[in-house]
Amino acid sequence: MENYCVPDRFIVHQTVENLSGQERDMSNWRLLHSCMRQIKLVDCRFNYFRALDSQLKDMSFDQCLCKNGIYTHCLVEVLDVASSYFNDSHFVDCTFQDLTVELASFGMCVFDNCRLFGPRMSETAFIGSVWRDCVLSDCRFNFVRFPGSVFINTRFENCSLRKAIFRAARFINCRFESCQLPEAVFHNANFSETVFRQTDINQAGNLDGVVGL
């Protein structure tokens, strides 16, 4: 996944705020121990972004391309994403709070030791994604898809997963606790050492081909 590109801009120990951009190419930025806030981007590119130990707050992405990013030990708060694409990105030890996401794609992304608190997502896809040691808490998902994704040591807590699609997904040592699964699809999903507590898997609309339940 790593393609080295000469960075266009380094932001170190700084705060970048009140930035609006349209049709800008902000690829190859490096954010180190910094904060970006009150950023509004429309129709922008943000490829090969690297963020380490930084905060991304009050940001809005509309019809943006943000592929091949690496985000490590970051706090992402109040993020609004619409019609955008974050494919082939890697999130390590990141915390996401107060996300609103619609019609976005996080295809082939990897989430390691990440925490999502209270995200609201609709019509969003995480195709072929990998989730390791993650916590998804108080999620309000409507038609969010995870086809072909892998979940390892990952917990879903108090989540509403209406029409969520986990087609051909794999769950290894995972836990669903106090979750709602109306019309969720687990077609050809594979469960191994996965627990459902106060969660009725039979609420799901499609359990055809499920293994390990």
| Residue 88 and residue 105 in contact, taking contact as beta carbons nearer than 8 Å | no
Q: Which of 198, 203, 168 is CA-nearest to residue 186?
A: 168
- Any contact of residue 128 with other proteins (CB under 8 A)? yes
Name the segment binding other proteins (CB under 8 A); options: 26-34, 110-118, 161-169, 196-204: 161-169
Tell me which of 36, 39, 44, 136 binds other proteins, using CB under 8 A: 44
Name the segment binding other proteins (CB under 8 A); options: 29-37, 42-50, 52-60, 170-178: 42-50
| Residue 150 and residue 168 in contact, taking contact as beta carbons nearer than 8 Å | no
Spatial distance between the Cα atoms of 132 and 88, rounded to a whole number of angstroms: 16
CB of 128 to other proteins, least distance (A): 3
Sole residue written with tokens 């619409």: 82
Spatial distance between the Cα atoms of 109 and 22, rounded to a whole number of angstroms: 25
Binders of other proteins among residues 57 to 86 (CB under 8 A) are 63-65, 83, 85
Tell me which of 8, 23, 53, 200 binds other proteins, using CB under 8 A: 23
Residues, the chain, total? 213
Tell me which of 54, 147, 154, 194 binds other proteins, using CB under 8 A: 147
User: Residue 81 corresponds to which tokens in the numbers above?
Assistant: 């994403």
In the complex, the residues that contact other proteins under the rule CB under 8 A are 23, 25, 43-45, 63-65, 83, 85, 87, 103-105, 107-108, 123-125, 127-128, 145, 147-149, 165, 167-168, 187-188
